[in-house]
């Protein structure tokens, strides 16, 4: 095929043009077959993001011979916390205490703590998941106290927009929230923001991880 390799190379070169520091590329492989992930792995990609638990578990089985770092990036449902805690290294969408506690309770003792980002609703959209900016500090305190989680930073999915200045202002808002938390003593090092349509602006505003699917694998059905 070669198209996944060229998609990866194109994304990496676009990241390199705007980044003045290392940025972790999470290849978002939801709805892609295991073979596509294997192809990206052969091309050097090690970090993959999935949004649907049962689909992800199937692919993990097929790909268990590879040393992949799996990130769960979708909304976390209460009845999926055990499967997520047992199979992923990172969770990007923690937005309530109950979900955080369940993930911590279910994280197996033989694995390192689960790396967590708190999802923030920076667009103020009613239906969006994510904690309101005013609730972030309290949730950060709660998550930090859980024994089997390690709070790494914040994540957001701003509303899709073609307007670069709006994109940047949403990302800047998340960066400032993280800086506030760091000022309060939370040792956060991660800003998970930026997707295929807006990752350059996310990087310009301080993203340390970008979650990119369609620009690598092509449009999802």
Ligand X SMILES: *Cc1c(COP(=O)(O)O)cnc(C)c1O
Q: Does 211 bind ligand X (CB under 6 A)?
A: yes
Least CB distance to ligand X at residue 69 (A): 16
Residue 157 engages ligand X in binding (rule: CB under 6 A): yes
User: Secondary structure of the chain: what % helix, strand, coil (to 5)?
Assistant: 45, 20, 40
Q: Which residue is nearest to ligand X (CB)?
A: 213
Of residues 30-49, those binding ligand X (CB under 6 A): 30
H helix or E strand, kind and range, residue 69: strand 69-72
Is 213 among the residues that bind ligand X (CB under 6 A)?
yes
Work out how close the CB of 25 gets to ligand X at its nearest, in angstroms, rounded to a whole number: 11
Query: Between 113 and 197, whose beta carbon lies closer to ligand X?
Result: 197
Roughly how many angstroms between the first and final C-alpha of the chain, as a whole number? 19
Q: Is 28 in the site for ligand X (CB under 6 A)?
A: yes
Interhelix angle for 34-42 vs 53-62, to 10°?
A: 60
Map residue 76 onto helix, strand or coil: coil
Region from 12-20, 124-132, 183-191, 208-216 binding ligand X, contact rule CB under 6 A = 208-216
Gap between the Cα atoms of 28 and 50, Å rounded: 6
**CA pair distance 174, 64, nearest whole angstrom:** 35
Alpha helices in the chain (DSSP H): 3-18, 34-42, 53-62, 81-87, 97-106, 136-144, 164-183, 199-204, 214-217
- Enumerate residues 51-90 that contact ligand X by CB under 6 A: 51, 73-74
Dist CA 200 CA 167 (whole Å): 10
Measured from the CB of residue 8, what is the shortest distance to ligand X in angstroms? 13
Q: How far is the CB of 164 from ligand X (least distance, A)?
A: 16
Does residue 133 bind ligand X (CB under 6 A)?
no
Measured from the CB atom, the residue of 4 and 73 that comes closer to ligand X is 73
- C-alpha to C-alpha distance for 136 and 121, rounded to whole angstroms: 10
Q: Does 188 bind ligand X (CB under 6 A)?
A: no
Asked if residue 156 binds ligand X (CB under 6 A), the reply is: no
Angle between helices 3-18 and 34-42 (to 10 degrees): 60
- 65 versus 163: smaller Cβ distance to ligand X: 163
Residue with smaller CB distance to ligand X, 52 or 138? 52
The contact set with ligand X (CB under 6 A) reads: 28, 30, 51, 73-74, 157, 195-197, 211-215
């Amino acid at each position: 095929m070669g198209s996944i390799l060229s998609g990866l190379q194109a994304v990496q070169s676009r990241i390199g043009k705007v980044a003045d520091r290392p940025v972790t590329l999470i290849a978002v492989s939801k709805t892609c077959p295991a073979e596509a992930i294997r192809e990206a792995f052969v091309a050097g990609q090690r970090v993959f993001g999935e949004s649907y638990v049962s689909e992800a578990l199937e692919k993990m089985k097929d790909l268990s011979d590879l040393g992949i770092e799996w990130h769960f990036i979708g909304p976390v449902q209460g009845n999926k916390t055990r499967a997520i805690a047992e199979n992923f290294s990172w969770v990007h969408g923690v937005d309530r205490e109950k979900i955080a506690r369940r993930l911590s309770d279910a994280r197996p003792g033989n694995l390192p703590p689960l790396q967590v980002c708190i999802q923030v609703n920076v667009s103020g959209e009613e239906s969006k998941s994510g904690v309101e900016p005013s609730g972030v500090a309290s949730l950060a305190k709660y998550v930090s106290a859980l024994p089997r989680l390690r709070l790494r930073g914040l994540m957001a999915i701003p509303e899709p927009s073609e307007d670069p200045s709006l994109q940047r202002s949403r990302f800047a808002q998340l960066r400032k929230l993280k800086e506030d938390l760091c000022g309060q003593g939370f040792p956060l090092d991660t800003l998970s923001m930026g997707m295929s349509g807006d990752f350059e602006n996310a990087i310009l505003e301080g993203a340390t991880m970008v979650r990119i699917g369609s620009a690598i694998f092509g449009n999802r059905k």
